[in-house]
Amino acid sequence: MARAHGKLILLGEHAVVYGVPAIAVGISAGVTAEAALAESSSLALGELRAAAADDSELGRAFSALLRALSAPPVRVEVTLGMPVGSGLGASAAIGVAIAKSVLECLHPHEHEHEHEHEGRVLEAAGAWENVFHGSASGIDAAAAFHGGCLWFRKGEGVSPIPLGADLSLCVALAGPPASTRLMVESVARLRARRTELVDKSLDGIRSLVENARLAIAAGDVRSLGKLMDLNQMILSGLFVSTDEIESACEAARSAGALGAKLTGAGGGGAVVALVEDDPEPVLAAFGGLGLKCFAARVSQVPGGKS
């Protein structure tokens, strides 16, 4: 059995598609998968069923993943421990968990070089992701594989960011999720029409991300919160926020959050709020809006994520 993390992007979504770095964290809410050799390849994902030979989107993604691994026929069962389609990286976590489980099935007593194993898993997860999202940046899959707090730049992979202090986060599902592909395409259309405006926004996000890296390493959570708020302002200017997201962010700040913003593609989906320590006041504020929510902690201690 293999496991993969869900993810939260603290800063940099959308800009990451254009080569701007982003910061993501892996959280314990995630996905498990179990694979076994079979006569034909099949996938059970909750109530969904697919075969690698069928022409459904799920079947095509499964087939692409297996091809990337040069895998023989396998039967895979996936168990979800996180919401799907809400900007929390469920799709990438599913792909990573499947790829890891297939490799474990094929090589149960072999221990591949860690870097080689990572490369194979992320390549296969990328093939899976591209069926659903077009050209995925890779940040979701990297966070799903590694966990922890990560610096990511497209084409360069990830590096860990040391934490100067634990990060206490609150997550809420603020409205129906939107298609990642459609939201990415909407920013691309805006950039085609108003190139100078969008490029200035991308430069602004780059500066915020670089400063956030320093704040995280220094344990300066108050500065990190302010940088998250500024990132949300820019994302709103790119028209990927919604009234529901803005209301959730404002409720979190009013309840004492140090910063709050959408996380993921936007257009709906999830909001992440950073708090000093106790998540309960912000969770109560989210609950007061009728939003499903949960707390997550990213710890300085390895394995301390919750």
3-state class (DSSP) for residue 278: coil
174, 242 Cβ separation under 8 angstroms = yes
State yes or no: is 140 an active-site residue. yes
3-state class (DSSP) for residue 231: helix
Best CA proximity match to 73, nearest among 121, 35, 28: 35
Catalytic member of 54, 55, 140, 166 = 140
Rounded distance between C-alpha atoms, residue 262 and residue 254, angstroms: 16
Rounded distance between C-alpha atoms, residue 103 and residue 30, angstroms: 19
Best CA proximity match to 171, nearest among 252, 91, 246, 112: 252
CA-angle at 136, arms to 134 and 139, nearest 5°:
165
99, 78 Cβ separation under 8 angstroms = no
Best CA proximity match to 24, nearest among 14, 35, 13, 37: 13
Which tokens hold the place of 274? Answer: 């950073």
What percent of the chain is helix, strand and coil (3-state, nearest 5)? Answer: 45, 25, 30
- Tell me the pairing of strands 270-275 and 167-173: antiparallel
Judged by phi (left if over 0) then psi (alpha if -120 to 50, else beta), residue 5 lies in beta
Query: Alpha carbon of 76 to those of 2, 10, 34, 58, 64: distances in Å?
Result: 11, 32, 6, 13, 14
Q: What residues act catalytically?
A: 140
